[in-house]
Amino acid sequence: MVSFIVHGGAWDIPDELVDAHRQGVARAMQIGWDILSHGGSGVDAVEKAINYLEDDPTFDAGRGSFVNAAGEIELDASIMNGTTFRCGAVAAVQNIRYPISLARLVMDKSEHVLLAGKGAVQFGAENGVQQCSSNDLLVGRELERWKDLLAQKNYSTKDAFQKKKSLPSDTVGCVALDAAGILVAGTSTGGTPNKYPGRVGDSPMIGCGTYADSAIGGVSCTGWGEAIIKVVLAKTIVGLLEVNGGDTQAAADEGIYRLEKKVEGFGGVIVLNSQGIPAFSYNTPRMARAYRTTAMSDACIDV
Ligand code: ASP
């Protein structure tokens, strides 16, 4: 049994952007599925599917990411192997085209879990990852958004998430169960629009935006990072799965319920259990997602 689930953010995705989101998660799904269904590793499936989404400017990850308050693009990502418990993460890295690959390098080649800022970039350079230019990451849509937000006095991410519930939240993530029974989760993001320089969200924090334990389940989250961190959402859901007999839908729904109830948070989650049973849950108007298991003849894709 192999299984794969992908998300491309949870928010009030406008009608005119639905197709681009659908196509993006469908393509990422296909990339991950091709690897898994040919006996490839979950780590490869997660990394390569996320690389595709990091290239697709539709999403807030890699190219197309939000711009911070200083006019820079700072990226966060993490990946975790649920069998070895090895994990790697990078936070607030600049000029990195594929942050999930740098996170994988931290997992594979360093003795650390999380490297931030210049140190992460230096570690990448020492291992053959060169910096890209800002123009490789910046798209016109985000430059315009940044200018608009700068012009708005008293703009607050918290208000945007809580009052309007429409803040773009286009982070990407995947969870894979490979033929060896290894669960792998990964997440990559540009964070939130106009974030304070150095701000780090849930995505690179193991247990918050990403978690995997092959004996129980794997999770990737998206949404308002400051709230997701407070309820340690990914690990909370894995903890729920551990005691509910592996019911992925119940654990995903309870996780989102706690996110909203305890910290007024908004977002979405994707989950696989140790058997590869998928589920997703969100309390935003829409969430881009796709999933497939060996038991399915085709992927289920929706926004
Ligand atoms: N969770 C991400 C963050 O707060 C944003 C997102 O999901 O789009 O950095």
- For 71-130, the pLDDT digits (tens) are 999 999 999 999 999 999 999 999 999 999 999 999 999 999 999 999 999 999 999 999
Res 163: pLDDT: 60
State the Cα–Cα distance between residues 76 and 116, nearest whole angstrom.
9
How many distinct structural domains can be found in the chain?
1
pLDDT at 40: 98
The predicted pLDDT at position 160 comes to 66
Which atom from ligand 1 is nearest to the alpha carbon of 223? 7
Task: Report pLDDT for 236.
Answer: 98
Using CA positions, which residue lies closest to atom 9 of ligand 1?
A: 191
Answer whether residue 161 shows pLDDT above 80: no
Of the residues 145, 192, 219, which should be mutated to test ligand 1's pocket, given the most ligand atoms within 8 Å of the CB?
192
Q: Which residues contact 182 (CB under 8 A, 6 or more apart)?
A: 41, 42, 43, 81, 82, 83, 214
Q: Quote the pTM value.
A: 0.96
Measured by CA distance, the residue closest to atom 8 of ligand 1 is 169
Q: Are strands 87-93 and 114-116 parallel, antiparallel or unpaired?
A: parallel
pLDDT of the residue at 165:
56
pLDDT of residue 10: 95
Answer yes or no: is pLDDT of 153 > 90: no
Whether 201 lines ligand 1, by a CB cut-off of 6 Å, is: yes
Could you confirm whether 294 is annotated as catalytic?
Answer: no
The single-letter code of the amino acid at 31 is I
Q: How confident is the model at residue 150 (pLDDT cuts 50, 70, 90)?
A: confident
15 CA to middle of ligand 1, Å?
21
> Which tens digits make up the pLDDT trace of 25-38?
999 999 999 999 99
d(CA 276, CA 217): 8
**Contact criterion met (CB below 8 Å) for 61 and 38:** no
- Specify the pLDDT at position 164: 53
| Mean pLDDT of all residues belonging to the chain | 95
What value does the mean pLDDT take over residues 259-280? 97
User: Per the residue annotation, which of 171, 189, 284, 293 is the catalytic one?
Assistant: 171
Chain-centroid distance of CA 212 in Å reads 13
Answer whether 115's CB lies under 8 Å from 82's CB: no
- Contact at 8 Å (CB) between 236 and 262? no
Q: Find, among 238, 268, 245, the residue nearest to 256 by Cα.
A: 268
Q: What is the CATH number of the domain that holds 68?
A: 3.60.20.30
Distance 149 CA to ligand 1 centre (A): 17
Ligand 1 neighbourhood includes 64 CB (under 6 angstroms): no
In the predicted structure, residue 218 carries a pLDDT above the cut 70:
yes
Closest-CA residue to 107 (of 194, 25, 19, 212): 212
Question: Best of 200, 224, 286 to mutate for ligand 1, by most ligand atoms within 8 A of CB?
Answer: 224
| Average pLDDT over every residue of 177-192 | 98
Q: Is 223 in the pocket of ligand 1 (CB under 6 A)?
A: yes
Q: Cα–Cα distance between 161 and 265 in angstroms, integer? A: 8
pLDDT at 47: 98
* Residue 155 reports pLDDT greater than 90: no
Q: What is the dihedral of CA 28, 30, 35, 39, to 10 degrees?
A: 140
pLDDT value at 19 more than 90: yes
Q: Which residues span the domain enclosing 180?
A: 3-302
Mean predicted confidence (pLDDT) in 172-187: 98
The answer to whether residue 152 scores a pLDDT higher than 90 is no
Whether 192 is in the pocket of ligand 1, judged by its Cβ within 6 Å, is yes
- Cα–Cα distance, 112 to 67 (Å, whole number): 28
The alpha carbon of 260 and the centre of ligand 1 are apart by a number of angstroms equal to: 15
Q: What percent of the chain has pLDDT over 90?
A: 91
Gap between the Cα atoms of 53 and 39, Å rounded: 22
What mean pLDDT do residues 282-295 have? Answer: 97
